[in-house]
Amino acid sequence: MSAGCRKPLEGPGTRCHSDLVAETLSVAEAKRRFSELIERVQRGEQIIVARRGRPAVALVAPEPPLDRHRDRPLGLAAIAGSLADWTGLEAAVETIYAERRRDRRAPRLR
């Protein structure tokens, strides 16, 4: 629970109600305290900046970038999905094997 919590929530991992509600600041106040606000957002807080009393923007921490290559299959597995829909795959493989057997010549021995 946060220090100075006035309205604690119940349940496991109890948190303060104010931890879940974003603080709202005017544009002028946000400009004056911008460095502080960045630090608070990095710690997980959300800040609402209001213009003329209406919410204009929210300061929130960015989500970590997605690692698009982390779950990507490697090697031949990378193309396996695209080959699964190829109806002529078996015939093409047989043609390749037949050509390789036909072109295979015995090595010349001296």
Collect all residues with Cβ–Cβ distance below 8 Å to 51 and sequence separation of at least 6.
Answer: 26, 27
Domains, the chain, ranges and CATH?
Answer: 17-59 (3.40.1620.10)
pLDDT in tens, 33-71: 999 999 999 988 999 999 999 999 999 988 876 666 666
Beta strands in 21-91 (DSSP E): 23-26, 47-51, 54-59
14-23, 55-64, 97-106: range with lowest mean pLDDT: 14-23
pTM score: 0.43
